[in-house]
Structure 1
């Protein structure tokens, strides 16, 4: 099977390409071919433009490209960059797929649980939930998803992944939290009641492989572990895993001063459940946070 991956050097892409290359022929789209080739070695073919790809020869496209959403404050310019970096590459892929004579049979495209917007922690959200909060994260993900779905045809199925907080020892949210917790400076954020719908990086990669291998599956999938936790519980489990106290909370006003509107990602959350994955018999290796953090940090 021949698979094209965009966003190949990102948090998920790095792990995914190395994993898929053990079984399939993988081509990675990246802005820096030399760095990516050094990262993956000969197992992965790295390219910098889609023009070098004949989409008649590709079986699966996995689209993970996009400007990191939590790297900088959400200025008007940064919001535009976050949006355009996702929509532009997705539209390019859709165009290539729809113009192919024998197009890829599967197009897996990223999204995020930010699609749902901020929600009451008591509301359980599966893929049928439609009472969205119309804020930036929803508008971003909605446009991203709608663009990806234009590739759908009788020859190509589309799977959209609404991904939660990806936990990895290499990058992402967890690595940003660790320094403070290791120095005994960690604590809950705001009131700590906001829900965190998380996913272990290994399960994230296996979800994508599950969708690649099960060609009867299509549509939207929540890529989160089955047991979301509150920020307060996350803080408690992380501190316990590190054998550190967690006694210094980060008040909402401080989060606003530090991060501006982007603080919404930390202050608000959603209780998201991966119903469609569970119904498809996907088996999570890490369903509970304590086991996930123990695996990553010990």
Structure 2
């Protein structure tokens, strides 16, 4: 049996995929849930431990059992950003991360590994600028959220924990996330580029995300911040044409920006839905990590043409 991995947020779209991926590779996997009884049947192959990030401290006994703790907790950003929602977005990421780090501080955590999610939203919208881990940050809500989120995670290193922060791009997978909203629209032939379609989209296949996490677990030299995106970002126009081609559907109806603002509000539209981020995974490439899905058409075909 390999190392014991605990995943905070292991029942969601990304977390459940990562949990199953690691289990197949011989790791023992523990996952958190607010209501273990509800998920125990669906995810019966895992040890499920109870943790409500809003009301409970992170269980110290889980830190003691685990060699690696992966933090994937976070309320979805794809909703209208009212002040109440903004507070939930912050607390679901920052407060939960703080509680995990506090649990590290209560036991001997030297030699353990902490892998914590962040997002490429930290860079803000930079149009055609190539963004690496050394690039400057934005100053919008999402950028500031990611900065505070990462600062909480970095504190784990004070307790002898090897700390890895993953700035994750748009995750492409079958049963959730970005594509879950787009696929029904595109299958009806109603898909189209957003505005002029020139904004850059930095994406990663969910299997490559899981492979990056496994790479971080297994390589003791991996620490600090890493962009987790394909080496080949695409424009929104290129993504739209490729997705329509893979689904064998037309995609000629551009989505005007004002329509998104009506649906999602101005701030979410500007900061997330129409932002342009041309991000490169510079540090992963320097370490020799090879992406299985570096081409957008190959990635989409793997998900929809089986």
Which TM-score tier does this pair reach, normalised by the shorter chain? Answer: over 0.9
1:294 and 2:301 aligned: yes
Distance 1:107 1:52, change over 3 A: closer
Contact 2:163/2:224 (8 A) holds in 1: yes
Partner residue in 1 for 2:55:
none
Contact 1:97/1:104 (8 A) holds in 2: no
In 2: Cα distance, 1:20 partner to 1:169 partner: 18
| Alignment map for 1:129-144 (pairs within 5 Å) | 129-130=135-136, 132-144=137-149
TM, length-normalised to structure 2? 0.93
1:31 and 2:37 aligned: no
In 2: Cα distance, 1:35 partner to 1:276 partner: 39
1:62 and 2:75 aligned: no
| Alignment map for 1:242-281 (pairs within 5 Å) | 242-260=247-265, 261-264=267-270, 265-281=272-288
Partner residue in 2 for 1:100:
107
Distance 1:101 1:146, change over 3 A: same
**Structure 1 residues 5-53: Cα deviation after superposition (integer angstroms, max 9, x where no partner):** 0111111101011121231111111122123222221x31101123362
* Worse-superposed segment, 275-284 or 261-270: 261-270
**Structure 1 residues 229-282: Cα deviation after superposition (integer angstroms, max 9, x where no partner):** 000000000011011110111111111111102112121120000011111111
Unmatched runs of 5 consecutive residues or more in structure 2: 52-57
Aligned residues: 294
Distance 1:290 1:47, change over 3 A: same
**Structure 1 residues 54-108: Cα deviation after superposition (integer angstroms, max 9, x where no partner):** 42332111000011111x2000000000100111110011011122124452100
Contact 2:110/2:159 (8 A) holds in 1: no
| Alignment map for 1:207-246 (pairs within 5 Å) | 207-246=212-251
**Structure 1 residues 163-184: Cα deviation after superposition (integer angstroms, max 9, x where no partner):** 0000011111112111111111
Partner residue in 1 for 2:133:
127
TM, length-normalised to structure 1? 0.96
Of the candidates 42, 45, 59, which is equivalent to residue 51 of structure 1?
A: 59
CA RMSD of aligned residues (A): 1.3
Contact 1:56/1:103 (8 A) holds in 2: no
Partner residue in 2 for 1:146:
151
In 1: Cα distance, 2:144 partner to 2:111 partner: 28
- Kindly state the Cα deviation for residue 148 of structure 1 after the two structures are TM-superposed: 0.3
Partner residue in 1 for 2:182:
177
Of the candidates 14, 17, 23, which is equivalent to residue 16 of structure 2?
A: 14
Of the candidates 157, 167, 184, which is equivalent to residue 172 of structure 2?
A: 167
Unmatched runs of 5 consecutive residues or more in structure 1: none
